[in-house]
Amino acid sequence: MATKAKPECACGDTSAFRGGKKRIIFPCAGTANVGQISNAAAFRLTDEGYGVASCIALLGAGDPVLKRRIAEADEVILIDGCPAACCARIAAAGGMHPAQHIVITDLGIEKTYSRKFTEPDVEAVVSAAWEGRGR
């Protein structure tokens, strides 16, 4: 029986980045509304050409390919949903220092234990990233 090659994860792959600084965006992607907002904002920022979304779990797992991509990036942006700061703690454990750390509840968005969120919530996070409010 032939063995299949392990697929390489595309998380943080800036090779197809469209321009400007090469940025990797890590959303917390938690289960509360602010985690869902962080994920939606990371994908919106990717669609807008700000950077590329990546998986915080892969960073926590110490993936060597992702670590190489982080080293090659110009900036890393963390989007945490709340003061628990899971993204920031995982990044710190991996020795990573982000250019921006955005905490959604610091933007005035209340954390609820629901997956529901609004488009203005996502836009507030996207705008904060573009404006550099997490620096």
pLDDT digits (tens, 9 = 90+) for 65-103: 999 999 999 999 999 999 999 999 999 998 899 999 999
The reported pLDDT for the residue numbered 20 is: 80
Among 81, 79, 76, 80, smallest CA distance to 99 is for 76
Are β-strands 52-53 and 23-27 bridged in parallel, bridged antiparallel, or unpaired? parallel
What does the pLDDT read at residue 80?
Answer: 98
Position 9 in a domain: no
pLDDT over 60 at 26, yes or no: yes
Contacts with 101 (C-beta within 8 Å, 6 or more apart), sequence order: 77, 78, 80, 85, 87, 88, 134
Q: Count structural domains, the chain.
A: 1
Is residue 119 situated within a structural domain? yes
Q: Is the pLDDT of residue 7 over 60?
A: no
Q: Mean pLDDT, to the nearest integer, of 110-128? A: 97
Assessment of whether the complete model's pTM goes beyond 0.75: yes
Q: What is the mean pLDDT of the chain?
A: 90
Q: Is the pLDDT of residue 27 over 90?
A: yes
